[in-house]
Amino acid sequence: MTEADTLLYLDGVTVSFDGFRALNGLSLVLEEGEMRAVIGPNGAGKTTMMDVITGKTRPDTGSVIYQAGTDLTKLDEPAIAALGIGRKFQKPTVFEPQTVWDNLLLALAGDRRPKFSLWARESAAERARIEQILETVRLPEQRHRRAGDLSHGQKQWLEIGMLLAQEPRLLLVDEPVAGMTDAETEQTAELLREINLTRAVVVVEHDMAFVRALGVKVTVLHEGSVLSEGSIDHVSEDPRVIEVYLGR
């Protein structure tokens, strides 16, 4: 593996809240264009890891290197988003009073500064792109509805759509299929694989069937550090993983 292939490199990241270590010397390497599933019991630190990558939480020690050279721990959220890192939250967060269309419009890649947005008009290209995303996330009928009125699953989809609209190089997806039916879960897996053709993806998920369906390298987090890494079959046979999930 050459350095040029490395997209994201977490090095010895430690985060503590009032003495409790949510992340404990976590190290992880993600390659360009890779899809990675991250699993682990509740409280393992998965969401905290995403918080650190996206700049929401500053680690006590350790660094997060993006595209060989940029230390993300020195940047704030908008700067990191501008570097092409998008995030879907565990609890779906969309702009509730605004329409599905506007939600996507706001997420669309482009100039984020006030002086641009004051004068911005919806261009034909933007409209086409939004239409396309609406198709992808299966929400074309809902375009004029308030995002707050959507069902839980639809909100999840909308959020994934917003993520796509951002056109990031790296997507961080926290529990995308929580609350979805089996069919929807299957569709989501398909969508993520499709996205992965052009971008790197990190998926956090508890649903083992879903992870298995993705068929990618799996990282198991436990008490803030990596417990095991490898194919789904490899990790599910790892005695330590079994102990963590079944023991105690």
Ligand X SMILES: Nc1ncnc2c1ncn2[C@@H]1O[C@H](COP(=O)(O)OP(=O)(O)OP(=O)(O)O)[C@@H](O)[C@H]1O
Kindly indicate which of the ranges 62-70, 94-102, 179-187, 193-201 contains the residues binding other proteins, using the contact rule CB under 8 A: 94-102
Q: How many residues bind other proteins (CB under 8 A)?
A: 34
By rule CB under 5 A, what string of x and - marks binding of each residue 34-53 to Mg ion? -------------x------
199 binds, among Mg ion, other proteins, ligand X, none (CB under 5 to 8 A by kind): none
Name the DSSP letter for residue 84.
T
45 binds, among other proteins, ligand X, Mg ion, none (CB under 5 to 8 A by kind): ligand X
Residue 219 binding Mg ion, by CB under 5 A: no
Within 10 A of 113 (CB to CB), how many other CB atoms are there? 8
Rg, the chain, Cα only = 18
In this complex, which beta carbon is closest to ligand X, that of residue 108 or of residue 205?
Answer: 205
Kindly indicate which of the ranges 41-49, 69-77, 104-112, 208-216 contains the residues binding ligand X, using the contact rule CB under 6 A: 41-49
Residue whose entry in the numeric block shows the structure tokens 């010397």: 25
Q: How far apart are CA 184 and CA 203, in angstroms?
A: 16
162 binds, among ligand X, other proteins, Mg ion, none (CB under 5 to 8 A by kind): other proteins
Q: Answer for the pair 29, 229: CB distance below 8 angstroms, yes or no.
A: no
What does each C-alpha distance from 236 to 7, 29, 124, 174 come to in angstroms? 26, 20, 49, 21
Least distance between ligand X and beta carbon 70 (Å): 23
* DSSP tally for the chain: helices H, then strands E: 10, 10
Residue 46 binding ligand X, by CB under 6 A: yes
End-to-end CA distance of the chain: 38
Residue 158 binding other proteins, by CB under 8 A: no
